[in-house]
């Protein structure tokens, strides 16, 4: 298939996946912002979303503070924010529009109607609908799109490049989700004060719920929520569909099928081996933030290598 | 819909009976449903200069335009005849120019024409076809007479509307299609692909055909994507293609792949930045040399525009006689070439009865509709005519046929024209139907979508014998 078409498919998948992940992230934070313990400390909560100085500046140029209303407006609806959910849906839709000749009509109709529905939504509309329901709607639209793609797309290169975009984006997002809490990664133990323990419980519970992994955690560990185990579950456990391990396994298989003698595949192989040989205790000792940061840049390099190997249009 | 004597035309008889039973409210509801369908499917055209909202629907009318098998057979024969003559003309002017030597067409009209491409001189096109896809815009003026308004042999668009209008009508009114024997148009993409494959460079067995688009912000992008999808071929932009060792290749995820036939929807001037517009980012540097060496076929060929401008239009009936030895089936609208002094005088004297058009204009711009114009506007145009007479032609206003159309007041007659699509390459054929454009303003004769025109589905009722046709 055309390199430029594969490129469109890859980004279509990433943007759609990103819109869902942003909705998940915001749902989690919104619920936390409603907890009594967070009152008064809310500013820190929303501010944690903006991990670089550039992101902070872009936000503060238009809005007056890290509070629920402005942050949600910016992250969901702002057309000047290229990562807002609205912008992601728009970009996904434009990528579909450019490749609709290789996609099924159902895929186009799904993404196009999502775009038409979100295009004119105002913050007032969001308030009317309720933040939770609105973000849930975004998630459902992403589920629908993925389902339509799975149920209608011919199994071929187009399908594989779409899946590759999905899993790279998802892996990056799961890491980002964990990294956003990196500052709270400190040993938890009996010395901890009771209110902090409760806070941790809600924090990590909300985080797990936002990636649909709360029940899995309960089933697997049958114990109270502990941050080390949360990180283990979401990075190293191949059974959790949004874990980094699950995503990297998929990427490895896709590249093996597309071109096993490529730098991209070597790179994916390396990333997979790193996860397979990792142990949570060792990660914990050497520093989780550092581990996550290293792994995130590894994924980023893989993404660049895939673009070089398959998608470059010069 | 009505014949000259006021009776309902045969072709409309069944439909008319059905329509009488429909309430206006139901039709309006169907109309809204159609709008929704078009928007969901993304059948839109882009309006330049607007941002993400810049996609518009062409108004679609739910009442079809209906032609009987007899009426259609005239149009069909006439359109094929016309396109065959135009292809013969294009071959001739890029080779021996016999029609010029015979004094039928003036040399300066060809050689000084902006669309004339000297690079095409002496180049043999496979099957001697230049215009692989043509649109012949026609109007009916009485029971048996169709006039051709203009020929389109560059990169005519709109065929996706023919297909999607039908698709939409079948979704909205399945009952109607169960009753009437409407000739299907849905094989167009298949025939188009066959035509394109048939003109691959000699010696290529299983040609790779691609559709080349200026990109997703082009106003006809939907159509490009739609046709590529229907034909199952790659939709490429200039940046996807490159020239290497005398052939054209496209960049794919598995490396370069050779391309044999390019159905391009990019204008001549943008195809090769080395030869034409150096600023064009839409083209492929060096593509012209590959065309000249015959290792890729570009459809429609470069330089076809010389055959379809309004100055050449006047000579098409003569071309038919000259190349085919036949009398034209379709009539030209009587046309005054203002470059001829006698014609110019007539036009200046009768300007309030005539439609005056720029020779190279298109899209309904730069024209004067005499009967609708004020005296000041007429005087303004007279000045333009005297300054550059060779730039203008004039035609009488026609008693265009009308078709019932759903408008604000209810169902009312509106003027229509029709663009049937003609394919050449394998054999010359016309899809039974086409794009009917309708002037939505009462009394208006301008059907262009940029000027408030809409579209309708076009039904050709099949004669019983033709139903079993299977080629």
Q: Is B101 on the interface with A (CB under 8 A)?
A: no
Kindly report, residue by residue over B113-150, the tens digit of the pLDDT.
Answer: 989 999 999 999 999 999 999 999 999 888 788 999 99
Question: What's the burial of B443, exposed, middle or buried (CB within 10 Å: 0-12/13-18/19+)?
Answer: exposed
Q: Is B239 on the interface with A (CB under 8 A)?
A: yes
| Maximum C-alpha span of chain A | 61
Testing the interface with B: which of A9, A92, A100, A113 to mutate, by most B Cβ within 10 A? A100
Question: What's the burial of B468, exposed, middle or buried (CB within 10 Å: 0-12/13-18/19+)?
Answer: exposed
Q: Is B217 on the interface with A (CB under 8 A)?
A: no
Each domain of chain B, given as residue ranges in start order, spans 10-331+399-460, 334-396
The pLDDT assigned to B450 comes to 67
Q: How far apart are CA B356 and CA B363, in angstroms?
A: 14
Closest C-alpha among A36, A104, A117, A27 to residue A68: A27
Kindly report, residue by residue over A181-198, the tens digit of the pLDDT.
Answer: 766 655 444 444 555 556
Per-residue pLDDT band for B247 (boundaries 50, 70, 90) equals: very high
The pLDDT assigned to B361 comes to 62
The pLDDT assigned to B104 comes to 95
Q: How far apart are CA B184 and CA B166, in angstroms?
A: 9
For residue A298, how many other CB atoms are within 10 A of its CB?
Answer: 19
Q: Which residues sit opposite B410 in a β-bridge?
A: B407
Q: Do the chains contact at B229 and A314, CB–CB below 8 Å?
A: no
Pick from A212-216, B98-102, B370-374: least confident = B370-374
Considering only CB atoms, which chain A residues are within 8 Å of B229? 100-102
Q: Do the chains contact at A2 and B52, CB–CB below 8 Å?
A: no
Cross-chain CB nearest to B253 (options A3, A101, A119): A3
> Average pLDDT over chain A, rounded to whole?
89
Q: Do the chains contact at A105 and B234, CB–CB below 8 Å?
A: no
Q: Do the chains contact at A116 and B39, CB–CB below 8 Å?
A: yes
Kindly report, residue by residue over A203-233, the tens digit of the pLDDT.
Answer: 788 889 999 999 999 999 988 888 889 999 9
Residue range B334-396, CATH number: 3.30.1490.270
Name the closest residue on chain A to residue B217, using Cα atoms.
A98
The pLDDT assigned to A189 comes to 43
Kindly report, residue by residue over B394-415, the tens digit of the pLDDT.
Answer: 988 877 788 999 988 889 999 8
The pLDDT assigned to B444 comes to 79
Q: Do the chains contact at A1 and B39, CB–CB below 8 Å?
A: no
Examine the pLDDT at B310 and tell me if it is beyond 90: no
Cross-chain CB nearest to A90 (options B52, B250, B251): B52
State both tokens at B222: 């939907």
Examine the pLDDT at A34 and tell me if it is beyond 50: yes
Pick from A189-193, B9-13, B68-72, B274-278: least confident = A189-193
List the 35-64 stretch of B: residues with Cβ below 8 A of A.
39-42, 52-53
Per-residue pLDDT band for B49 (boundaries 50, 70, 90) equals: very low
Closest C-alpha among A126, A115, A122 to residue A90: A115
The pLDDT assigned to A37 comes to 60
Kindly report, residue by residue over A114-142, the tens digit of the pLDDT.
Answer: 999 999 999 999 999 999 999 999 999 99
Nearest 5°: CA angle at B432, between B417 and B36? Answer: 70
Q: Do the chains contact at B236 and A157, CB–CB below 8 Å?
A: no
Kindly report, residue by residue over A75-103, the tens digit of the pLDDT.
Answer: 999 999 999 999 999 999 999 988 888 88
Examine the pLDDT at B468 and tell me if it is beyond 70: no
Considering only CB atoms, which chain B residues are within 8 Å of A2? 234, 236, 240, 250-253
% of chain B residues with pLDDT over 70: 93
> Average pLDDT over chain B, rounded to whole?
88
Taking an 8 Å Cβ-Cβ cutoff, which residues of chain A contact chain B? Answer: 1-6, 79, 90, 94, 97-98, 100-102, 105, 108-109, 112-113, 116, 119, 157, 161, 258, 310-314
Testing the interface with B: which of A11, A95, A101 to mutate, by most B Cβ within 10 A? A101
Model ipTM over 0.95: no
CA distance A61 to chain B (A): 23
Per-residue pLDDT band for A22 (boundaries 50, 70, 90) equals: very high
Kindly report, residue by residue over A61-76, the tens digit of the pLDDT.
Answer: 999 988 899 999 999 9
Examine the pLDDT at B81 and tell me if it is beyond 60: yes
**A19, A60, A77, A107, B51 from A81: Cα distances, Å:** 13, 12, 8, 25, 16
Examine the pLDDT at B464 and tell me if it is beyond 80: no
The pLDDT assigned to B399 comes to 73
The pLDDT assigned to A113 comes to 92
**How do strand B45-46 and strand B55-56 relate by DSSP bridges?**
antiparallel
């Amino acid at each position: 298939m055309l390199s430029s078409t594969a490129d469109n498919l890859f980004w279509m998948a990433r943007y759609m996946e990103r819109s869902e992940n942003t909705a998940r992230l915001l749902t989690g934070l919104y619920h936390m912002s409603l907890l009594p313990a967070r009152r008064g400390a809310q500013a820190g909560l929303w501010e944690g979303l903006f991990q670089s100085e550039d992101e902070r500046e872009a936000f503060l140029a238009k809005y007056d503070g890290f509070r629920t209303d402005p942050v949600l407006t910016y992250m969901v609806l702002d057309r000047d924010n290229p990562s807002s959910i609205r912008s992601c849906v728009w970009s996904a839709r434009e990528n579909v529009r450019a490749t609709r000749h290789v996609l099924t009509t159902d895929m186009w109709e799904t993404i196009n109607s999502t775009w038409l529905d979100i295009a004119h939504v105002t913050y007032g509309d969001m308030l009317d609908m309720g933040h939770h329901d609105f973000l849930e709607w975004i998630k459902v639209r992403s589920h629908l799109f993925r389902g339509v793609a799975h149920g209608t797309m011919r199994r071929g290169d187009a399908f594989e490049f779409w899946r590759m975009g999905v899993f790279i984006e998802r892996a990056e997002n799961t890491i980002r989700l964990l990294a956003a809490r990196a500052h709270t990664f400190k040993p938890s133990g009996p010395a901890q004060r009771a209110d902090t323990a409760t806070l941790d419980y809600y924090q990590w519970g909300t985080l797990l719920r936002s990636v649909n992994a709360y029940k899995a955690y309960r089933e697997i560990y049958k114990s109270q929520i502990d941050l080390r185990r949360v990180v283990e579950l979401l990075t190293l456990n191949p059974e959790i569909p949004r874990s980094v391990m699950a995503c990297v396994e998929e990427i490895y298989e896709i590249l093996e099928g597309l071109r096993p003698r490529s730098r991209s595949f070597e790179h994916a192989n390396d990333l997979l081996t790193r996860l397979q040989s990792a142990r949570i205790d060792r990660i914990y000792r050497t520093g989780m933030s550092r581990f996550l940061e290293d792994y995130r840049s590894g994924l980023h390099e893989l993404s660049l290598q895939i673009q070089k190997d398959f998608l470059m249009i010069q | 819909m009505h014949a000259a004597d006021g009776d309902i035309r045969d072709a409309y008889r069944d439909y008319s009976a059905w329509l009488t039973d429909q309430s206006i409210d139901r039709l309006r509801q169907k109309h809204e449903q159609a709008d929704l369908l078009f928007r969901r499917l993304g059948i839109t055209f882009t309006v330049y200069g607007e941002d993400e909202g810049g996609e518009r629907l062409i108004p679609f009318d739910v009442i079809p335009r209906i032609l009987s098998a007899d009426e259609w057979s005239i149009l069909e024969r006439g359109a094929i005849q016309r396109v065959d003559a135009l292809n013969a003309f294009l071959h001739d002017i890029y080779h021996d120019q016999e029609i010029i030597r015979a004094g039928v067409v003036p040399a300066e009209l060809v050689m000084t024409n902006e669309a004339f491409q000297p690079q095409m001189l002496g180049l043999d096109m496979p099957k001697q076809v230049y215009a692989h896809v043509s649109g012949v815009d026609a109007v009916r003026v009485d029971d048996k007479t169709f006039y051709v308004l203009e020929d389109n042999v560059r990169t005519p668009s709109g065929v996706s509307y023919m297909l999607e209008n039908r698709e939409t009508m079948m979704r909205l009114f399945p009952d109607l299609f169960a009753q009437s024997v409407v000739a299907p148009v849905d094989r167009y993409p298949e025939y188009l692909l066959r035509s394109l494959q048939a003109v691959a460079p000699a010696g290529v067995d299983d040609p790779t055909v691609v559709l080349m688009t200026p990109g997703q912000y082009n106003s006809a992008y939907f159509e490009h994507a739609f046709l590529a999808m229907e034909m199952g071929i790659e939709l490429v932009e200039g940046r996807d293609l490159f020239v290497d060792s005398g052939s054209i290749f496209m960049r794919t995820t598995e490396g370069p792949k050779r391309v044999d036939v390019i159905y391009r929807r990019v204008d001549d001037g943008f195809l090769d930045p080395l030869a034409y517009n150096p600023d064009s980012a839409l083209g492929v540097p060096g593509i012209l040399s590959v065309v000249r060496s015959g290792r890729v076929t570009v459809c429609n060929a470069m330089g076809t525009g010389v055959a379809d401008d309004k100055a050449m239009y006047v000579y098409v009936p003569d071309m038919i006689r000259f190349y085919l030895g036949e009398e034209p089936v379709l009539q030209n609208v009587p046309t005054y070439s203002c470059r001829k002094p006698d014609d110019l005088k007539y036009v200046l004297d009768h300007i309030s009865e005539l439609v005056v058009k720029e020779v190279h204009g298109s899209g309904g711009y730069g024209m004067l509709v005499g009967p609708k114009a004020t005296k000041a506007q007429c005087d303004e145009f007279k000045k333009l005519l005297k300054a550059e007479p060779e730039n203008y032609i004039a035609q009488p206003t026609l008693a265009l046929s009308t078709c019932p159309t759903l408008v604000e007041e209810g169902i009312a007659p509106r003027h229509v024209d029709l663009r049937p699509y003609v394919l050449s390459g394998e054999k010359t054929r016309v899809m039974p139907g086409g794009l009917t454009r309708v002037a939505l303003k009462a009394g208006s004769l301008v059907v262009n979508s940029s000027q408030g025109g809409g579209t309708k589905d076009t039904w050709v009722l099949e004669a019983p014998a033709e139903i079993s046709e299977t080629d």
